[in-house]
Structure 1
């Protein structure tokens, strides 16, 4: 059965000084060279980061738009995928708001405008694979929970349209495992489950937000996740990636990496096995 190497990485917006993008970017390249993800969900990808990603991630294509104008302004929550393995069948960005299909400002008392980007990919050998990626609000619990519910609703609609395709939802949800947003994502009625608890093997099952080592991650659970559809995907391994290439860090968040295996080949474009 086809395997998928999936990663989620909050980049931290471009800063100056010792944690400038120009310093952290090569560390990200090193990390991706080591883990070789098939698809990646990034958060806090500013226009400056997007320029760097598109110029330096050879072999990957990115999907997504800026949250402020639906084009090039504001942070992106892009999905990048391997061009040698996948082609883009469908995709887009929606806003976590009452008007998801048009550019919206902060909703439900959120501190920031929030979006979700999705890419329906056609594996050139194994059918369809869906990757959704988001960054929910860090202030408003209502916004994060309603945003999560909207994402699950859109996921269900896409699977109704295309069939029971293997799917992942990655992102920075700004909530640990005791949070309300995590409860929404892992509700028994949810189509997804936390890859951490489905994994045959866990590596570094600690927190993911380290704030450049100002937080003791051993005392926390992640706020970054890779949720998967358990009816179509098994999880071989799950890892909080605590690498520090060159003695430094890619971001103030560790990446999440999951090695997944489809329970059967994904649906073909026509919806047939």
Structure 2
């Protein structure tokens, strides 16, 4: 529930930058308090994170006691490798089931690398009930490959198929797609009836530790039929003056319609 508004679902997508990167003054031990504080203040009901190593997940989860975490490491299906977890506030969504799908020819093959992707990529899928409205919802959080053009296209098709096969739900798809909102790679999502929750004027998300707001927006929230956007945008918070990541998080407040 966003800022106490009844019936509103706030969703957030945030690439937190993997914790083993050699980022000097932006290394994980120096910014982890800032990331956790930002997550506390975002007021989300569902938050999709990307580039999460298990040590990062454990640190963040220890300070976010009202949330449940869904997702696994992309390397072994347990703890190894980056995760794209969904963090769900249990008072907002009653989760029925969840799964991790590898963005590959066989999405159930653990650790698989699809098409021309540089590395394995995953999507976390959660199905449940929005408690405020009583409606069934589906949420997908993902991180597309940064190099493979075919992998980006096919990953979008895979996610679109998940949505189509369970079309009675109100769907949300979020993540770091590594392409702009109008990219041909995302055509399959648009053809499945999904649309951007953010306006084209929202600004950029990836800033490469510069703090810039005018670079490309590669982090997106897509919504299916049944949602009305109340407000949406990019959060530029710097807790205690700390840049929390090399991406800015995006958010959307949604009302079932």
Query: Secondary structure, in 3 states, of the residue corresponding to 1:217?
Result: coil
State the distance in 2 between where 1:12 and 1:246 align: 18
Task: Pick closer, same or farther for the CA change 1:125–1:76 going to 2, 3 Å.
Answer: same
Aligned equivalent of 1:135, options 143, 146, 150: 143
Q: CA deviation at 1:180?
A: 2.4
State the distance in 2 between where 1:236 and 1:101 align: 36
| Pairing of 1:170-209 with structure 2 (within 5 A) | 170-186=174-190, 189-197=191-199, 205-209=202-206
* Kept in 2: contact 1:88–1:120 (CA 8 A): yes
Unaligned ranges ≥5, structure 2: 1-5
State the distance in 1 between where 2:146 and 2:118 align: 7
* Kept in 1: contact 2:163–2:192 (CA 8 A): no
Partner of 1:12: 17
Deviations 1:158-178 (A, max 9, x none): 22xxx2x22210000000134
Deviations 1:220-255 (A, max 9, x none): 3410000001x2000011111112222221110000
If the length of structure 1 is used for normalisation, what is the TM-score?
0.85
Q: Which 4+ runs in 1 deviate beyond 6 A? A: none
* Kept in 2: contact 1:11–1:43 (CA 8 A): yes
Deviations 1:66-118 (A, max 9, x none): 11111111111110101223222011011111111221422111011011101
Query: Secondary structure, in 3 states, of the residue corresponding to 1:167?
Result: strand
Partner of 1:246: 240
* Kept in 2: contact 1:97–1:104 (CA 8 A): no
If the length of structure 2 is used for normalisation, what is the TM-score?
0.90
Unaligned ranges ≥5, structure 1: 264-273
1:52 aligns with 2:59: yes
State the distance in 2 between where 1:8 and 1:18 align: 24
State the distance in 1 between where 2:132 and 2:189 align: 30
Q: How many aligned positions are there?
A: 249
| Pairing of 1:1-273 with structure 2 (within 5 A) | 2-14=7-19, 15=21, 17-127=24-134, 128-159=136-167, 163=168, 165-186=169-190, 189-197=191-199, 205-213=202-210, 216-218=212-214, 220-229=215-224, 231-263=225-257
Deviations 1:36-67 (A, max 9, x none): 10000000011121211222222111001111
Query: Secondary structure, in 3 states, of the residue corresponding to 1:126?
Result: coil
